[in-house]
A and B are shown apart, each in its own frame.
Chain A
Amino acid sequence: MNGYKLKRGFFMTLRRAVCSPRVALFLVFLFAPINSYSNKFDHALFILSKDTPDYKKIVNLVTSDWKKSKSYGYMILIDDQSAEIDKNLKTSDIIITLGTSAADKILAKKTAQPVINTLITQSAFKSLADKHYGNIPKALASGVNPILLDQPFERRLNLTRRLIKNMTDVGVMIGPSNANNQSFYTHSIEELNLKPKILLIDPDQNPIRQLDPVIKSSDVFIPVADSHLINVTTAKWILQLAYRHRVPVIGYSANYVAAGALASVYSSPQDVSKQTAELIDSLLTKNHKNQMHLPRYCTVKFNKTVAWHLNLEIPRDLEKNTGRCDL
């Protein structure tokens, strides 16, 4: 029995390890090829999916110190300057995409230059890698380095635990892209002696009718970012149902907080630009290996109005550290 338990426990631990994002990333890193680039990139091409202040801010932050090294960035908007992209691709040493659409465009070209995909979720990157390279390892092998937007679930769970003291039932919604990780989420919750209520959303079914019983029976609800279809279909209903049942929601973006979530852990433009800059530098090192990069930095945001309505008090230490990620 014990042996079985030990054996079963070993396999369970292995399985959890293999199935966890970290382990998955580790494996990708392990098999990823090692690049060797020159000392510096003279020409960096930024491809933006959208002309928003956040996108431009990220570019500016990344290129703020480049004047010293005489490198420069060239920013192109993807939608209206396709010809410009092709023209500059040849002269660029590195390509940085911002957003899923930009990544889609560049990955489709399978360029020889190293590519950094920012502002992209794991599910989106997987979809693009499958689409253009067949799978993620092939994409990585081709010099693609995504910096994912998905904050580690543990950070959100830690935040939830610190915000809501007496919770027992933790509802989690996952989509088809995360269906394989359902046990990871369950295990993570259970490790905290909490009762997981995992909802694998079916896109073809009425989301309200799927969400309503889970949210209604949970003390807190944590939606996991999935494909855009899942996100747009469920986000509004999650917040409305949570409001109706007075269940706090821990979101994954600043907009989620603005829309009615109690708090969110997310990647701010500063967080993204900082990690991007570090990745560019890393690409110049001989030991660099192409891999999917989890967000190294994070930012926390609270909705005090929601907290007030839910009679929740935001801990002072958390409130002071708003914008810092020490989760």
Chain B
Amino acid sequence: MRYLPTRNSISSRLLVTGLIPLTLLSILMGYYFISYQKAEMLGNLQDTGQIAVRQVSQNTAFALYSGDRKSLDSLSYATLETPSVAGIVFYSYTDQEPITIGDLDFEKLPKYFDRSEPFEFDGHWYFFSEILSDRSPIMDYEDPMNYEPEKIGWVLVSLSDKLMREKEHSFFLTASTVVSFSFLLAFLLSIRISRTVSDPLEDLTNVVATMESGNLDVGASETDIAELAHLSRGINGLAASVRESNQLMQSEINRATSQLKVALAKLEEAMLAKDQFLARMSHELRTPLTAVLGFSNMLFTEVSESKREEQLSVIQRCSTVLLTMIDDVLDFSKADLGGYSLNNSSFALDKLIEDLNLLFLLQAREKGLDFNISIEDRVPTRVYGDAVRLAQIITNLVNNAIKFTEFGSVSLHLSALDFDNAYDDLKFCITDTGKGIVKDKIPTLFEPFTQEDTSINRQYGGSGLGLSISKRLVNAMDGDISINSEVNVGTEVIFTCKLSKNSHDIDSPAQSLLSEMGTKKGKVLSGVVILLAEDNEFNQKFMVRLLERHGAVCSIAKNGQEAIEMNDSGNFDLILMDLHMPIINGMEATKTIVSQNDNCPPIIGLTADITSSEQDKLIAFGAKSVELKPIDEDHLINTLLEALNLQEKSQKFSSEGMLAAVLPIEDLKQAITVNLNSLEKCLHADEQASIRPLIHDLIGFCGLYGMQELREIVLELKNSYAVLDNSKNLQQVKRIRQYMNQSAIFK
């Protein structure tokens, strides 16, 4: 694209810049030469006139003085042949009569004129001169006397300026032509010069415009003008840089786009999984809830005691399932918000595994599966860590293995990977012979709300959070988890964790609980006066019944304000403060009560809010601790005992065992019965290899359900069955059956 020269263009400016001085110079030169030539011609005319008049005056002196007209004419005509000389006038002082020769009208001339200078009149120049007679004495020794030449007359020579005018005109035309050609030449030169600069600039502008439109492949050609060549190199360099930047940016965009696509796909998958999870959870929650509601309604009308117990048993089981589901969700939510905080303590690993074995063995046998546990010798028997979380991980993984295995076996193998000075690096390997998992789905299994496919949920149920929670717990223990699986062959789940070697004398609460499973329930809160601040009426009844069952005496405040007032007027040993109440909430009420009396009763918060910030805040206001809803009875009672400094009681307190809330007592009774039947068979058949695992299972059941007396009877059998004969061993089995029949637990 060629730019038309405009007033502001470089080419027009260069053109003007070059043209103006050249034009002025041409005009000045022309004017100067014309003026000079005019002056020169006038000077020549005047010189000619002066020479002519001088020659005439000198040559004609004798002829004029002698009155020789013939000589005068002859000399005059010779002078008249000189170009421009038009006429001559002689005047003799002797004759006093003008003599005119040539084209000159003496009568028309002005009578008076400056004789010392030539004058112009009527297109003619006139030159005057006196005609003098030299008066030389022609003596050899002249005296210094001045003999002025004698004036004998004068002569006036007329020169026509016609020729000069013609020459002047001719020269003017010539000069004008030269000036015009000079101007034209200057114009052409200016254009040439301006284009020398503007053309490369226009080319560069076009190149830049092309680059601006996106085509960076064009290059600016270098000219022989150093500055423009430098500019061209700069533009080419800039284009290369921009091109490179564009390429880099494009690759970044492509990469980011692909990442976004992946992220979007993952998000879509997550959203899909979440939707599926919600649908699943809805189903999972509604199913047991329907049973709870249905059997609850039936209880109002059912008169048969046995059926009422059966209905209550169903309700309890369904509630347990619901609680498990909710616990999973809350657990995951808690981990999602702030991660898991491990409650580490020293515990007996071998005992924990032994107890879990009983639980899994029961489940496996229900499905007709074999369940085996093997522990490497190097594995320490006592470690420092969170026993409850470790049991949770193992339970999740083994439950999954049993759940997805239809036949074959499930095994747990525990080994020690490495030992350093501070930690025991343990490896847990759960293997099953189940349906296996498609390899592509394995990475997604650890994602929350994800199962291999939706049919699994429909078939097997579950929240889909088990593996996700397990992975997070493993990570919290500085370990890792992985899955190896082959479809229709089986699955192997391996996880590792670091457990400190530091030994502690005091067992963890969980260990206490497990070890004290056999402790009988008692009214541990006898005589304790408790102020319950709770606005919800049902929760009031529930809490009152629960606390009264343990011997406590309760007073109810419907809101924070009442709690403050009642605390002022009453003498309470402890306050249970719900956080969310009308008028004054539990947070403010706690703050007020603590601030009013330094010796105020200990305050235990009650909340369904699992966020730690609210709990921390309440504790900062003076509460001893916070209990989460739904209420874990044992935990609550233990917490109350601790708050009331009744630690001794706390040590002895245990509910029906840690699995009591998980597995219905009827199932336990059935499991123990099946186990005893199998044990009797083995004793009769003297199958020693099968006797020991069965006895171990019995010990585990007793521990998990807190049946300490029964556990001691089973332990006697374990310690003696190898040395006793079968009849004595069978009597021991019979003794266990009798205990079961007499025990209130199984009634």
The residues of A with any CB-CB pair to B shorter than 8 Å are: 49-50, 52, 54-55, 79, 98-101, 119, 149, 206, 208-209, 212, 225, 228, 231-233, 235-237, 240, 251, 253-256, 259, 266-267
Residue of B65, B94, B140, B145 contacting most chain A CB atoms (<10 Å): B140
Q: Is the CB of B136 within 8 A of A49?
A: no
Q: Is the CB of A235 within 8 A of B136?
A: yes
Q: How far is the CA of A235 from the CA of B133 in the complex (A)?
A: 11
Q: Is the CB of A208 within 8 A of B143?
A: no
- In B132-151, which residues have CB < 8 Å from any A CB? 133-145, 147, 150
B621 interface contact, C-beta 8 A: no
Q: How far is the CA of A119 from the CA of B323 in the complex (A)?
A: 173
User: Quick one: CB contact mask for B62-81 with A, threshold 8 Å, 1 for yes?
Assistant: 10011100000000000000
Known: A232-B135, A255-B139. 12 other contacts (CB 8 A): A49-B143, A50-B143, A99-B143, A149-B141, A208-B65, A208-B66, A209-B66, A231-B138, A231-B139, A236-B138, A240-B62, A255-B138
Q: How far is the CA of A266 from the CA of B138 in the complex (A)?
A: 12
Q: Is the CB of A232 within 8 A of B141?
A: no
A174 CB → nearest B CB, Å = 15
Q: Which 4 A-B pairs give the minimum distances between C-beta atoms?
A: A232-B135, A231-B137, A235-B138, A253-B140
Contacts A101-B144, A233-B150: A228 and B137 contacting too (C-beta < 8 A)?
Answer: yes
Q: Which residues of B contact A251 (CB under 8 A)?
A: 138
Q: How far is the CA of A282 from the CA of B136 in the complex (A)?
A: 36
Task: Determine the main DSSP class of A at the interface with B.
Answer: helix
* Sample of 28 A–B contacts (CB below 8 Å): A49-B143, A49-B144, A50-B143, A54-B141, A55-B141, A98-B141, A99-B143, A149-B141, A206-B65, A208-B62, A208-B65, A212-B66, A228-B137, A228-B139, A228-B147, A231-B137, A231-B138, A233-B135, A235-B138, A236-B133, A236-B134, A236-B136, A237-B62, A253-B138, A253-B140, A254-B140, A255-B140, A259-B138
Q: Which residues of A contact B65 (CB under 8 A)?
A: 206, 208, 237
Residue of B94, B134, B138 contacting most chain A CB atoms (<10 Å): B138
- In B101-156, which residues have CB < 8 Å from any A CB? 133-145, 147, 150
Q: How far is the CA of A255 from the CA of B134 in the complex (A)?
A: 15
Q: Is the CB of A236 within 8 A of B135?
A: yes
Partner of A99, one of B94, B135, B137, B141: B141
User: Quick one: CB contact mask for B686-702 with A, threshold 8 Å, 1 for yes?
Assistant: 00000000000000000
Q: Is the CB of A266 within 8 A of B147?
A: no
Q: Which residues of B contact A209 (CB under 8 A)?
A: 66-67
Residue of A49, A236, A237, A254 contacting most chain B CB atoms (<10 Å): A236
B144 CB → nearest A CB, Å = 5
A150 CB → nearest B CB, Å = 11
Q: Which residues of A contact B137 (CB under 8 A)?
A: 228, 231-232, 235
Q: Is the CB of A232 within 8 A of B140?
A: no
B68 CB → nearest A CB, Å = 9
Q: How far is the CA of A233 from the CA of B66 in the complex (A)?
A: 13
Nearest-CB residue, chain A, relative to B140: A253
Q: How far is the CA of A49 from the CA of B145 in the complex (A)?
A: 10
User: Quick one: CB contact mask for B583-613 with A, threshold 8 Å, 1 for yes?
Assistant: 0000000000000000000000000000000
Q: How far is the CA of A50 from the CA of B144 in the complex (A)?
A: 6
A111 CB → nearest B CB, Å = 20
Nearest-CB residue, chain A, relative to B141: A119
Nearest-CB residue, chain A, relative to B145: A228
Q: How far is the CA of A264 from the CA of B130 in the complex (A)?
A: 33
Nearest-CB residue, chain B, relative to A299: B140
Nearest-CB residue, chain A, relative to B71: A244
Q: Which residues of B contact A253 (CB under 8 A)?
A: 138-140
Q: How far is the CA of A36 from the CA of B134 in the complex (A)?
A: 47
Q: Which residues of B contact A212 (CB under 8 A)?
A: 66
Q: Which residues of B contact A237 (CB under 8 A)?
A: 62, 65
Contacts A206-B94, A236-B133: A101 and B143 contacting too (C-beta < 8 A)?
Answer: yes
Q: How far is the CA of A206 from the CA of B143 in the complex (A)?
A: 25
Nearest-CB residue, chain B, relative to A230: B137
Q: Which residues of A contact B62 (CB under 8 A)?
A: 208, 237, 240
Nearest-CB residue, chain B, relative to A211: B66
Q: How far is the CA of A256 from the CA of B142 in the complex (A)?
A: 13
Nearest-CB residue, chain A, relative to B152: A206
A317 CB → nearest B CB, Å = 25
Q: Which residues of A contact B133 (CB under 8 A)?
A: 236
A146 CB → nearest B CB, Å = 14
Nearest-CB residue, chain B, relative to A118: B141
Q: How far is the CA of A55 from the CA of B142 in the complex (A)?
A: 10
Q: Which residues of B contact A149 (CB under 8 A)?
A: 141
Q: Which residues of B contact A206 (CB under 8 A)?
A: 65-66, 94
- In B46-68, which residues have CB < 8 Å from any A CB? 62, 65-67
Q: How far is the CA of A79 from the CA of B94 in the complex (A)?
A: 36
Q: How far is the CA of A266 from the CA of B139 in the complex (A)?
A: 10
Q: Is the CB of A100 within 8 A of B135?
A: no
Q: How far is the CA of A237 from the CA of B67 in the complex (A)?
A: 13
Q: How far is the CA of A54 from the CA of B140 in the complex (A)?
A: 9
Residue of B66, B94, B139, B141 contacting most chain A CB atoms (<10 Å): B141
Q: Which residues of B contact A54 (CB under 8 A)?
A: 140-141
Nearest-CB residue, chain A, relative to B148: A232
Q: Which residues of B contact A232 (CB under 8 A)?
A: 135-137, 147
Q: Is the CB of A100 within 8 A of B143?
A: yes
Nearest-CB residue, chain B, relative to A100: B143
Q: How far is the CA of A231 from the CA of B137 in the complex (A)?
A: 5
